[in-house]
Structures are given as C-alpha cells and as structure tokens.
Amino acid sequence: METQLDLLTKECVSYTKNGNVADYIPELSKADPGMLGAYMIAEDGSEFFSGDYMQPFTIQSIVKTILLLQALIDNGVEAVSEKVGMEATGKPFDAINVTEQKLDSRHLNPMVNMGAILMCTLIAGNTYEERFSRVLELTRILSGNPTIDIERKVYLSEKTYGSKNRALAYLLKANGMLADDVEEVLDCYFQACSISVTCKDLANIGVVLANRGRRPGGDEFIVPEEYARYVNATLITCGMYDGSGEFALRVGVPAKSGVGGGIMAIAPARMGIGIFSPALDEKGNSVAGIQLLEKISRQFKLSIF
C-alpha cells in the first residue's frame, strides 16, 4: 500500500503549479509551493506516508474542528446549536455576512470564520489564554502528540494582519452575539490557527473522528461519540467552504482544509488522512491536496456515497 501512495503522490506533484500560496497572512507566503505530503492511519492502526509528510505547517482552519469539539464538550449539543447553525453557507471562509437578512445564529457555521470565532467564546476558562490552553491540550490529546505547540511567527503575523477577522468579530458584537472583548477572543482564535502540525498529527486526529471518538484499537472514547458524529456531519457540508459540494463528488468523505495547505480527511470507520501542500485554489483549498485525495479515495474506495 505504501508504494501505491508514493506513486499517487508523485502523480499529483505537478498540480502544485496550479495554485498559489496564501499571502494575506504574510508569514504563510514563505511556504514552498511545490511541496506535497500525505500520511494515512487506518482503523487497524497501520500507517502509510509519502512525499513531504514530515514538513510542519500551521493548522489554520482545520482547528475549527477542534474549537467545535471543545465547545461541544464544554456545553453540549443543545447549547452549541443555539449559538451556531449547521447549514452549509456556500460562501468563502471569511464571508462578511452569509445572509441578506439580519444576522442570527442560524446563519453561522462553525466551519467558517465567524462561527469559529464565536466557538472561542463557548470554551470554558477564566481567561482567553486559559481557553486557548485547553484547545491546545485537546489538539495534543487527539493527535497523541504532546509536543504540539504554536508557530509564534505565524501567530504574530495573523494578529498584525487580521483586519478581516476583526471586522467579522465586531459584526458579531454589533449583532449582540459576542459579549467579550474582541481582541481577547481573537487572540484565542489566532493562536489556535497558528498551532503547528504535521500530516501525521492530522491523520491521528482524523482517525479518531473516523472511529467516532476512539483511537484505533482502543475502547476508550477520547471525545464522546455524539460529538465526533456532529463534527463529521458539519464537515461534509461545509469543511471545504464553497468547494464542499465539488469535494463531496470528487472525494466523498468529511474533510477540513486550512490556508496553511493542510487537509484533514476522515474516511468513516476506515482511516484518517493528513495532507500538506500549500499551493491553494481561489477558495483557499490545497490544489494538489484535493487531487491526491481524489486519487486515494478512488484507489481505496473511500467515498461514502
């Protein structure tokens, strides 16, 4: 299987030329656009990897899955569903407003920025620093990697150039949906986006979600089954933003992308996959990453459809 993955990865490297590295966060523009790596962890615990799988990168929007999980753990499904909706927005990740009408919670989705920023306010903790520490701890537990930490340069770059996210947060405040200090909330969000991971970390988190909350071979639930199911369902409709429909056709598994070039794919009851390739399409999704996932999905018959 490993040689097959190697082969598929080599076939997809040329697609990196069809995308561009994110530059709206200046620190991200330093990534090498030609990179492509993959890591697969199957339900039986077997692992396969290829290409630039060892390269660390920032988790970016993939952390939205962890923000949602932590919010669910701290508040339960009902309280979270009161604050954010679950319908696909069909809009870009940083959409100003997903509705023509007055903004209300049903118009937010935890997989787009506004909803994810709001998730930070639901996480338990006396300070936003404490809330972020809990998100980091959950990331370490899910990935089984206690050394995971933030990439400070990216964090500072996001904080400095985060006008759009500030606008989104103030819009929430203007609509009476965010009571706390905007800068404190955003600091938690920016730090969360700047967590540094590898393909293996994403594959480990993905396989726990694929197993509805359990590590391969383990009986213990790291996160409650119901919350894993909640996250997976949200990902199928909105995990790839306004590219989610096409992704469902081409790949057909719940997945979350980030502008750092990562994609975490969850093949239910089969495997977790971590992909890294920083050249992005106009929707902010990794071009070669999607191409490789499409081939992996066909090869291993992963589509749930």
Q: Give CA separation, 286 vs 172, 219, 240, 256, in Å.
A: 29, 34, 10, 11
Residues touching ligand GLN, count (CB under 6 A): 11
Q: Per CB under 6 A, does 158 bind ligand GLN?
A: yes
Q: Which of 39, 128, 189, 227 is catalytic?
A: 189
Q: Is 113 in the site for ligand GLN (CB under 6 A)?
A: yes
Q: Is 93 in the site for ligand GLN (CB under 6 A)?
A: yes
Q: How far is the CB of 259 from ligand GLN (least distance, A)?
A: 4
CB of 254 to ligand GLN, least distance (A): 16
**The one catalytic residue among 21, 241, 286, 295:** 241
With CB under 6 A as the contact rule, the residue among 69, 210, 259, 288 that binds ligand GLN is: 259
Q: Which of 200, 259, 295, 297 is catalytic?
A: 259
- State in angstroms the smallest separation of the CB of 25 from ligand GLN: 7
Question: Longest C-alpha distance within the chain, in Å?
Answer: 54
Token pair recorded at residue 102:
């007055």
| Residue ranges in the chain assigned as alpha helix (H) | 2-12, 63-83, 113-122, 128-143, 152-160, 163-174, 182-193, 199-210, 225-238, 244-250, 287-299
**Catalytic annotation present for 153:** no
Between CA 92 and CA 113 the distance in angstroms is 9
Minimum distance between the CB of residue 298 and ligand GLN, rounded to whole angstroms? Answer: 26
**Quick one: 165 or 211, whose CB is closer to ligand GLN?**
165
Residue in 110, 216, 284, 289 binding ligand GLN, rule: CB under 6 A: 284
204 makes contact with ligand GLN (CB under 6 A): no
Tell me, rounded to whole angstroms, the distance of Cα 1 from its chain centroid.
26
Asked if 53 is an active-site residue, the reply is: no
Q: State the Cα–Cα distance between residues 48 and 40, nearest whole angstrom.
A: 5
Does residue 196 have an active-site annotation?
Answer: no
By the rule CB under 6 A, 165 interacts with ligand GLN: yes
64 is catalytic: yes
Distance CA 211, CA 271 (A): 8
Rounded to whole angstroms, the Cα distance separating 65 from 119 reads 10
Cα dist from 24 to 42, 76, 165, 169, 287, whole Å: 35, 35, 12, 18, 18
3-class DSSP state of 183: helix
Is 164 an annotated catalytic residue?
no
Q: Does 61 bind ligand GLN (CB under 6 A)?
A: yes
- Residues tagged active-site: 61, 64, 189, 241, 259
Name the site residues for ligand GLN (rule: CB under 6 A): 60-61, 93-94, 113, 158, 165, 193, 258-259, 284
